[in-house]
């Protein structure tokens, strides 16, 4: 395992911090994650699920030559030289076949009748009893959607590993699929640890706070298409944590804990993880800010992510480690990226050399330009900074900050218009 | 109703097209939409739902002064002039109160003990039996998260009309909320019309195609937080359409139809809508491309959107009219915008003067710059253009196209990394 020497990592136990990239890679390599099992669901339920195999078109789309406009199906050669001053005169027919000097009315989407090879638009014609004047010359195939023009039989319509959006579902429907194979939702157990935590809905003691990490991380799991399992709160007690972890790994495909990972107190959760199986903790201490005390572990092939108890650190730790894990479990070829915007930083931000720093910002739009305003916060405990912000800027390890007006790339996690 | 004279609107029945802005405004004004009813849900189920009332903090967050770091709670004045060369020596205590010249160990998140007003970080201390050396001078409140620093009691924590993301849920949890009031999901009935349509799962006749609009529009409804009702396919028959529309408006808060709106054939759906109630069709024909033959209607205060049968036109019509409708029904202050990126167009695109044109593009990233590649398509029938693209560029009515390399704003509807 490669370690990144870090002059600012002065906390005991963290003299050496692993870079985020090395931490992630070392951990994923140890895990050797297999894609989750697949399940067949009706098409409407496949929204935002991940396709597990290339979907091949079993027929052409369109299935037949069809009209792209409202008008008359004709033989293109019958319109040779036609203009408003010298219209071509064609006989209307209602038969299945269009013969020489004939035209048949068609609406958008109708099959092109036998014998016809082009469609003249309504507005380029004039009806005269049982005949039409055609005012324009047509090329063969003009205004015709040709068989297979959209997708050809045998082509890959949607690739394996794609998150299905409404348009993918539409394409699958157009190809006649009423069901589709998607990845099972990975089950992620979530455990909060800490004597100071009270469940929402309960009455906290005077020195307790409401637990909020489980609900945040559960929602982040759901957004990615995983199924969170709420395993409750464990006291700062190695036996209780160990029991919860064992239960979690029986029920779930992976587990996330919050709290009990800092060097400050005992390393309760890392110690508990090392108790329950091999290889245990793989990385502890990452060259990032916040979320430095994050630990990554594996037990019997199942992934564990040991996050800080501070909500913002937990969120960033999830972003950097749980997101790629879940995407891999879902069989996605790459980690799904958040949308980004480029914006000018409204004031300078100082960051620590040797740490990849995640700066929360609020992006605002002014006269068509984007500006990113750093959201100040002391420490990483203030969850309101995540609701005030709508994105984060990643400052690399080799920078000591960002200057005012510098163009930065913002990874958006909130609505651009509605940061509040 | 303001009409926009359009020289290119040559189709019969559409000599005058309404601008998208006027069409939307006229229609919404007629409708006078009331926000949907509200419902109380457990916090974990509130993800992506819309908050119906300002959520006021009923207590301070944090609830008490707490330590932002691992270390020792002290009186700041006891560290005056302390340095590594001249440490302050403090007596460790385990009592509830910190007296002069005393220090008490605290971990991140712990309440600050009575008498203490600052916390010295572990790494700035050295333990000597029952005493600690403090190597740094502290200011009052240093390393303390003050009561109410995150949110103050009485402040608005989350505004009404906000779509709740994981971090909003976390903030609500931290404030002790286990339930929250959110807007009911508007029920949107969706009817497809057309003799050429076969339901997926059925066996289509030779000249039929699989119906795909209902599944696309249903998924788009779901993404916005509405509940789609699949009303099936109506034949091109005014009685059948009228019956389905009546049923739809009994069951749903609004209805969307596809097909039967073009000037080409009969205006079957607009005629059916006008049959069932007042005021009926308000706008028919919009200065946009695709989706020009879109009609907007109202019957007894319920909204109807009559979309083209072409999938891409239906999608764009939904985007421009159903999205603002649903956001309004949900009580959002503004129509929710898609994320945008600025990109250089890779080749010129011709558009029609007098029409707001929605150009599908595939945004790709190269050397940190974004490029938007127009996705070619004849007509608006090819749904594969929506899966190949990941965004659209809106070309205003007063432009005849966009030149190569021009910087455009792309509204993203698909994954940046995964356009295929």
pLDDT reported for residue A408: 96
Kindly report, residue by residue over A293-341, the tens digit of the pLDDT. Answer: 899 999 999 999 999 998 999 999 999 999 999 999 999 999 998 988 8
Contact A363, A341 (CB under 8 A): yes
**Chain B residues with CB inside 8 Å of A203's CB?**
none
**Cβ neighbour number for residue A59 with a 10 Å cutoff:** 16
Task: Give residue A69's pLDDT band: very low, low, confident or very high (50, 70, 90).
Answer: confident
Nearest to A387 by CA among A227, A257, A216, A223: A216
Q: Name the strand (E) or helix (H) holding A287.
A: none
Segment B246-258 shows an average pLDDT of: 98
Q: Is the pLDDT of residue A285 over 80?
A: yes
* Cross-chain Cβ contact A315/B167 below 8 Å: yes
Q: Is the pLDDT of residue A369 over 90?
A: no
Segment A376-383 shows an average pLDDT of: 68
The two beta strands, A71-74 and A102-106, are antiparallel
Domains, in order of start, for chain A = 4-35+184-329 (3.40.980.10), 38-59+157-183 (3.90.105.10), 66-145 (2.170.190.11), 340-412 (2.40.340.10)
* Cross-chain Cβ contact B387/A168 below 8 Å: yes
Residue A189 and residue A249: Cα distance in Å, rounded?
8
C-alpha B418 chain-centroid distance: 20
* Cross-chain Cβ contact B123/A10 below 8 Å: yes
Contact B154, B221 (CB under 8 A): no
Q: Which two tokens stand for residue B275?
A: 């049959």
* Cross-chain Cβ contact B381/A109 below 8 Å: yes
Residue B52 and residue A139: Cα distance in Å, rounded?
58
- Cα dihedral B277, B283, B285, B291 sign: negative
Task: Give residue B260's pLDDT band: very low, low, confident or very high (50, 70, 90).
Answer: confident
Q: Is the pLDDT of residue B315 over 50?
A: yes
Burial of A91 (0-12, 13-18, 19+ CB in 10 A): middle
CA closest to A61 among chain B residues: B382
Burial of B203 (0-12, 13-18, 19+ CB in 10 A): exposed
**Chain A residues with CB inside 8 Å of B58's CB?**
none
The two beta strands, A254-258 and A187-193, are parallel
Q: Name the strand (E) or helix (H) holding B354.
A: none
Q: Residue A367 contacts by C-beta under 8 Å, 6 or more apart in sequence?
A: none
Q: Is the pLDDT of residue B379 over 70?
A: no
Distance set, CA B104 to CA A259, A378, B110, B129 (Å): 21, 22, 11, 14
Q: Which two tokens stand for residue B185?
A: 């999901």
Nearest to B183 by CA among B24, B342, B318, B329: B329
Higher pLDDT pick, B89 / B417: B89
Q: Residue A388 contacts by C-beta under 8 Å, 6 or more apart in sequence?
A: A360, A362, A375, A419, A420
Residue B138 and residue B119: Cα distance in Å, rounded?
8
Alpha helices in A17-165 (DSSP H): 20-31
Residue A108 and residue A416: Cα distance in Å, rounded?
39
Q: What is the DSSP letter of A328?
A: H
Segment B351-378 shows an average pLDDT of: 88
Least confident residue range of A164-168, B25-29, B372-376: B372-376
For B147-163, give the DSSP string: TTSSB-TTSEEE-TTPB
Distance set, CA B122 to CA B68, B96, B103, B118 (Å): 12, 20, 12, 13
For B308-325, give the DSSP string: -SSHHHHHHHIIIIIHHH
**Chain A residues with CB inside 8 Å of B66's CB?**
209, 381
Task: Give residue B264's pLDDT band: very low, low, confident or very high (50, 70, 90).
Answer: low
Distance from CA of A218 to the nearest CA of B (A): 8
Q: Is the pLDDT of residue A68 over 90?
A: no
**Chain A residues with CB inside 8 Å of B158's CB?**
387, 420
pLDDT reported for residue B13: 54
Distance from CA of B166 to the nearest CA of A (A): 5
Distance from CA of A133 to the nearest CA of B (A): 16
Task: Provide long-range contacts, Cβ within 8 A and 24+ apart, for A263-267.
Answer: A263/A11, A263/A12, A263/A13, A263/A14, A263/A293, A263/B70, A263/B122, A264/A11, A264/B69, A264/B70, A264/B71, A264/B107, A264/B108, A264/B122, A265/A236, A265/B70, A265/B107, A266/A238, A267/A13
Residue B272 and residue B184: Cα distance in Å, rounded?
29
pLDDT reported for residue A110: 87
Kindly report, residue by residue over B175-214, the tens digit of the pLDDT. Answer: 999 999 999 999 999 999 998 899 999 999 988 999 999 9
Scan for tokens 């297979």, then name that residue. Answer: A148
Nearest to A325 by CA among A19, A8, A27, A6: A27
Segment B333-346 shows an average pLDDT of: 92
Q: Is B244 strand, coil or helix? A: helix
Task: Give residue A10's pLDDT band: very low, low, confident or very high (50, 70, 90).
Answer: very low
Residue A6 and residue B87: Cα distance in Å, rounded?
26
The two beta strands, A391-395 and A356-366, are antiparallel
**Chain B residues with CB inside 8 Å of A10's CB?**
123
Of A68, A70, A111, the CB nearest to B207: A111
Segment A118-129 shows an average pLDDT of: 92
pLDDT reported for residue B56: 97
Residue A406 and residue A403: Cα distance in Å, rounded?
6
Q: Which two tokens stand for residue A161?
A: 């590993």
Residue A354 and residue A396: Cα distance in Å, rounded?
8
For A66-106, give the DSSP string: EESSSEEEE-GGGGTT--SSS-EEEEE--SSBPPTTEEEEE
CA closest to A146 among chain B residues: B378
Task: Give residue B108's pLDDT band: very low, low, confident or very high (50, 70, 90).
Answer: confident
Task: Give residue A262's pLDDT band: very low, low, confident or very high (50, 70, 90).
Answer: low
**Cβ neighbour number for residue B89 with a 10 Å cutoff:** 13
Beta bridge partners of B341: B410
Contact B66, B145 (CB under 8 A): yes
- Cα dihedral A103, A104, A106, A109 sign: negative
Segment B130-146 shows an average pLDDT of: 94
* Cross-chain Cβ contact B381/A62 below 8 Å: yes
Instruction: Find the helix packing angle between A213-224 and B166-174, rounded to 10°.
Output: 160
pLDDT reported for residue A11: 46
* Cross-chain Cβ contact B157/A384 below 8 Å: yes
Terminal-to-terminal C-alpha distance of chain B: 42
Of B150, B207, B219, the CB nearest to A64: B207
* Cross-chain Cβ contact A383/B171 below 8 Å: yes
* Cross-chain Cβ contact A310/B109 below 8 Å: yes
Residue B138 and residue B141: Cα distance in Å, rounded?
8
Strand locations in B109-205 (E): 118-121, 125-128, 131-134, 144-145, 156-158, 179-183, 187-193, 197-198
Of A173, A177, A215, the CB nearest to B44: A215
Residue B200 and residue B198: Cα distance in Å, rounded?
6
Contact B68, A378 (CB under 8 A): yes
Q: Is A266 strand, coil or helix? A: coil
């Amino acid at each position: 395992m490669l370690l990144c020497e870090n002059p600012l990592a002065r906390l005991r136990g963290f003299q050496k911090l692993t870079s985020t990239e090395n931490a992630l890679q070392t951990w994923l390599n140890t895990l050797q994650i297999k894609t989750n099992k697949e399940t067949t669901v009706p098409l409407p339920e496949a929204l935002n699920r991940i396709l597990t195999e290339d979907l091949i078109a079993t027929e052409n789309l369109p299935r037949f030559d069809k009209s792209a406009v409202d008008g008359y199906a004709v033989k293109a050669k019958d319109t040779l030289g036609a203009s408003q001053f010298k219209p071509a005169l064609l006989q209307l027919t209602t038969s299945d076949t269009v013969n020489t000097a004939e035209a048949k009315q068609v609406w958008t989407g109708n099959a092109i009748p036998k014998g016809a090879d082009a469609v003249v638009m309504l507005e380029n014609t004039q009806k005269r009893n049982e005949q039409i004047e055609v005012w324009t010359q047509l090329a063969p195939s003009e205004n015709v959607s040709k068989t297979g023009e959209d997708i050809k039989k045998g082509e890959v319509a949607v690739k394996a590993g794609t998150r299905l959006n409404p348009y993918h579902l539409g394409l699958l429907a157009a190809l006649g699929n009423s069901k589709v194979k998607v990845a099972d939702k990975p089950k992620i157990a979530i455990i909060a640890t800490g004597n100071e935590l009270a469940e929402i809905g309960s009455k906290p003691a005077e020195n307790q706070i409401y637990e909020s990490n489980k609900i945040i991380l559960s929602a982040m799991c759901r957004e990615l298409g995983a199924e969170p399992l709420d395993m409750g709160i464990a006291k700062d007690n190695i036996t209780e944590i160990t029991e919860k972890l064992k239960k979690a790994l029986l029920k779930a495909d992976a587990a996330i804990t919050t709290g009990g990972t800092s060097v400050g107190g005992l390393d309760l959760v890392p110690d508990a993880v090392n108790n329950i199986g091999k290889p245990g903790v793989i990385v502890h201490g990452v060259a990032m800010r916040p979320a430095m005390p994050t630990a990554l572990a594996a037990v019997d092939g199942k992934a564990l992510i040991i996050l800080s108890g501070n909500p913002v650190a937990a969120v960033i730790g999830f972003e950097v480690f749980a997101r790629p894990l879940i995407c891999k479990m879902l069989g996605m070829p790459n980690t799904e990226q958040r949308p980004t915007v480029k914006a000018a930083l409204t004031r300078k931000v100082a960051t620590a050399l040797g740490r990849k720093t995640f700066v929360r910002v609020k992006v605002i739009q002014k006269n068509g330009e984007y500006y990113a305003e750093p959201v100040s916060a002391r420490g990483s405990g203030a969850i309101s900074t995540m609701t005030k912000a709508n994105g984060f800027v990643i400052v690399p390890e080799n920078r000591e900050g960002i200057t005012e007006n510098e163009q930065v790339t913002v990874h958006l996690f909130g609505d651009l218009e509605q940061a509040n």
